[in-house]
Structure 1
Amino acid sequence: MKTIVLNQPGELHLTSRDVDEVLSDNEALVRIHRIGICGTDYHAYRGKQPFFSYPRVLGHELGAEVVALGKSVDTKQLDIGNKVAVEPYLNCGHCQACQNGKSNCCENLKVMGVHTDGGMCEYVKIPANKLHHSAQLGYEQLALVETLGIGAHAVQRAQVSANDIVLVIGAGPIGLSVIQFAKIQNAQVAVMDFSTQRLEFAKQAMHTDYSITATTEFNTNDLRKALGGKLPTVVFDATGNSQSMMKAFSYLAFGGKLVYVGLFQGDVTFFDPDFHRKEVTLFASRNSLPSDFKNIIQQMESGQINTQAWLTHQAAFEELPSVFETWLNPESHVIKAMVVV
């Protein structure tokens, strides 16, 4: 089968591998039809992805078709020919987190395309319970479910409601996924980014209430003016930038919540008296849960989520090694690139 391998930073290579068709009782073999490209893939390509080793087959945003099933898989729940979104979080099922229903932060978690080979190939084996079926959605929509799950989980962590003023820092795909679900909760949503193009996209596609162009001098007083005299009750930082993440503490209203959706390799520091004076609640948000996948598919099927605007760039599988680097250029204005297998 055709496979693309990231041999080392900056080197994607198209090769061929055998298909392993031997399935355990609870496994499925799927044919990959669409692969979404995300920040993790770009970081890995640049050599800046934590917990990563080379060579690696990337790809964890997948729209796929079931082609074979292990003998113990319930065909009433999943059958050959089904179109599926792939939940790429391979949890152990035995650790304390898994036992407490927090499989997204399993102590032994392996994410496809990061800790183990992913779906940048024609066929892949995966536990059948990691496949989420839809009779209505196409492969491109199903490949977007994992990205949307990051935002859905973060918004659920913060228990966003219609009473909240939400600030999302960073209008890349993860920030946009947060905006999507904050708007579903009927919150007022402000978005901050250095890119006016991304701010305009968020306004047009996601109907954000406030657009704030980030500058190095921007401060709390500027934010209060932009929001009509108030500060956000919930701040989501989706930048993965250390300075932005630490500055986000200052943007919160008293009694507010700060959610780190992005991450960086380093330490976070804050001024403890202000942290206590405001009674800040600080959350990390990692991956998403099986229930998030199911809910997102239902919301997409019902029309609550329109994914069409997300898909700005596309390439055939064989073209990816030559076009991938062009998507790293900010002037390409990529929101979400999709690979057709």
Structure 2
Amino acid sequence: MTNSLMKALFLKKPYKLELKNTNIPVLSQGEVLIKVNAVALCGTDIHAYHGKQGLFEYPRIIGHEISGEIVEMNAKQKKLRIGDRVAIIPYINCGHCISCNKEIYGACENLKVVGVHQAGGLAEFIKIPVDNLVKLPQNIDNLNGALVEPLAISTHAVRKANPKSDENILIVGMGPIGLGAAEIAKTFGANVILADLSEERRDFVSKRFDYKNILNPLAVDYRKQLAELTDGNMPDTIIDTTGSNKSMESCFKYLSYGGKVVYVGIYNGDLVIDDIEFHKRQTRLFGSRAAQKTDFEYVIGCIGKGLVKPEKFITDKLEFDQNIVKNINLVMDKGLSAFKTLIIFK
């Protein structure tokens, strides 16, 4: 490229963002240079901003929910070309550990995440391995393209449960991943029940989406409500996205016999479960991390068919300009009311 510098937003340390010029990445073999079109802020970015993301390495260009356009290639392949718009798969696996050999790439022993362990998307350009790109069709715009990644995380969790039509799924935690799981579960024909402690979150979802069964897990009749909604059988699957040990430990007593539990949110510590409740149900327990390329492709198909509408998640839009530090600081202070923030590049 004629210009060797780009603008990038660095998280220098907790609460300290800095917009500065830095070198445009130089491509190695197998890599592609992407002009960033849009980035969605994720819980990972927010936790890193507040100093509560244990895996994060400072300083770092943040952002891993990214859509962009290919502007340079150093890779031999036939599916993509310069000018294609793409969604980025931000998980860089080693390709040779036991998990990669099993094609379970999200469990790679040496997994690196864009925007956490290496430079992220809040920059004018980013380099990515060509295998970590999924082409966006014309009917998916740049903003929706940036939301493919969180929806792929949700899809991966739902696919772990592999629900059948008319199964009852309880999704605990109504943040973007939990709500995304609800939207994806509906494409499987599942009956979705949502639960969240936050009245603000419950109100947001009830106003923007068409879910009838939105519960407060602290309600004294919570178990009774679940029983009534499932003909007394309790949910066939519980997907817990909270990362709360209390929520994760309590799942089993609200589960149907022969049911499944999927942990998506991560708790940094030990979990203590009631083994009697776990065993007598012959519970199937899954951990869900990251997403596969097939999950990204499924999401793109759902958006293209109008089955999932990511734009309904968006509450805030910012431009990547000289005011970006001030504006992101303001969004970070909004708390739950900033459900999904998109940064738009010119």
Instruction: Give the structure-2-normalised TM-score.
Output: 0.92
4+ residue segments displaced more than 6 Å: none
SS class of match (2:127):
strand
2:174 is matched with: 171
SS class of match (2:61):
coil
Work out the CA distance in 2 between the residues paired with 1:12 and 1:244. Answer: 33
CA deviations over 1:152-192 (Å, ceiling 9, x no partner): 00000011121311111111101011101111111111101
- Residues paired across the two proteins, number: 338
1:111 is matched with: 113
Work out the CA distance in 1 between the residues paired with 2:133 and 2:155. Answer: 18
Deviation at 1:230, TM superposition (A): 3.6
Deviation at 1:219, TM superposition (A): 5.0
Correspondence 1:132 to 2:134: yes
Work out the CA distance in 2 between the residues paired with 1:25 and 1:300. Answer: 32
The residue type paired with residue 24 of structure 2 is V
Specify whether residues 246 and 253 from structure 1 end up closer, same or farther in structure 2 by C-alpha distance, changes over 3 A only: same
Preserved contact between residue 97 and residue 103 of structure 1 (Cα < 8 Å): yes
SS class of match (2:303):
helix
Which segment is superposed worse, 272-281 or 282-291? 272-281
CA deviations over 1:273-301 (Å, ceiling 9, x no partner): 22111111111000100111112112212
1:160 is matched with: 163
Q: Unmatched 5+ residue regions in structure 2?
A: 1-5
Work out the CA distance in 1 between the residues paired with 2:83 and 2:94. Answer: 27
Correspondence 1:30 to 2:55: no
Specify whether residues 252 and 325 from structure 1 end up closer, same or farther in structure 2 by C-alpha distance, changes over 3 A only: farther
Specify whether residues 114 and 218 from structure 1 end up closer, same or farther in structure 2 by C-alpha distance, changes over 3 A only: farther
Correspondence 1:194 to 2:209: no
The CA RMSD over aligned residues, in Å, is: 1.8
Q: Unmatched 5+ residue regions in structure 1?
A: none
Correspondence 1:235 to 2:234: no
The residue type paired with residue 109 of structure 2 is E
Equivalences for 1:317-328 in 2 at 5 Å?
Answer: 317-318=320-321, 319-328=323-332
Deviation at 1:199, TM superposition (A): 2.3
Deviation at 1:324, TM superposition (A): 2.4
Correspondence 1:48 to 2:30: no
Deviation at 1:121, TM superposition (A): 0.5
Specify whether residues 332 and 51 from structure 1 end up closer, same or farther in structure 2 by C-alpha distance, changes over 3 A only: closer
Work out the CA distance in 1 between the residues paired with 2:175 and 2:189. Answer: 21
Work out the CA distance in 2 between the residues paired with 1:158 and 1:258. Answer: 8
Preserved contact between residue 310 and residue 336 of structure 1 (Cα < 8 Å): yes
Specify whether residues 154 and 206 from structure 1 end up closer, same or farther in structure 2 by C-alpha distance, changes over 3 A only: farther
CA deviations over 1:110-158 (Å, ceiling 9, x no partner): 0001122211111111111111112312111110010000110000001
Preserved contact between residue 179 and residue 208 of structure 1 (Cα < 8 Å): no
The residue type paired with residue 8 of structure 2 is T
1:4 is matched with: 9
2:187 is matched with: 184
The counterpart of 1:313, out of the listed 308, 311, 316, is 316
Correspondence 1:290 to 2:286: no
SS class of match (2:59):
coil
Specify whether residues 152 and 333 from structure 1 end up closer, same or farther in structure 2 by C-alpha distance, changes over 3 A only: same
Correspondence 1:300 to 2:303: yes
1:224 is matched with: 227
